[in-house]
Amino acid sequence: MPCLSSTDNNLFRIHTMTAYLGIGTNLGTDKAANLRQAVSLLNEQAGRVLACSSFIETEPWGFQSANTFLNAVVAIDTPHSPHALLRITQAIERSMGRTHKTVDAHYTDRIIDIDILLYGHEVIRDADLTIPHPLIMQREFVYRPLFEIAPEAEHLLRTI
């Protein structure tokens, strides 16, 4: 006799959410490899990668550096809560060699930066996390690749 009837199969479904993550790097000899490694680690640890934008090269934003950035946006299907996803992205940054997080808008060069831009339609504003990311529409290197893979996000951002 089976433990579950055929109508109980939904008990095993995992609730997932589509999240959009901005990734960027301005250190290392192969910035594209840094982004590819971050995408691979996100796929392994954060959730299944659904889409990845084109990589775009940009000047640093918010600070001076001789190093240009390479940026992209990734869509993932994640079973993790927003705060758990934040912890995972920070662990990936550390595993790739990032030693400093931005504090009080004092930006520095970094091997990798992963920001949660959107998490479904959720709005979160607490001490650890703000979703949607508050600077999306001020940063072309974020909104351009985001709208490339999620054109509907522009309307969503204007209604939140």
For this structure, is 110 an active site residue?
yes
- Of the listed 36, 98, 109, 144, which one is catalytic? 98
- Of the listed 36, 48, 109, 113, which one is catalytic? 113
For this structure, is 115 an active site residue?
yes
> 3-state SS of 27-52?
CCCCHHHHHHHHHHHHHHHCCEEEEE
Identity of the amino acid at 153: A
Q: Phi, psi (5° rounding) for residue 140? A: -60, -35
The vertex-84 CA angle with 80 and 87, nearest 5°, equals: 135
Q: Phi, psi (5° rounding) for residue 59? A: -75, 155
| Contacts with 17 (C-beta within 8 Å, 6 or more apart), sequence order | 77, 78, 119, 120, 122
- Of the listed 36, 48, 77, 110, which one is catalytic? 110
Q: Which residues pair with 25 in a beta bridge?
A: 70
Q: What is the DSSP string of 90-124?
A: HHHHHHTT-----BTTB----S-EEEEEEETT--E
For this structure, is 113 an active site residue?
yes
For this structure, is 98 an active site residue?
yes
- Of the listed 48, 109, 115, 144, which one is catalytic? 115
Question: Catalytic site residues?
Answer: 98, 110, 113, 115
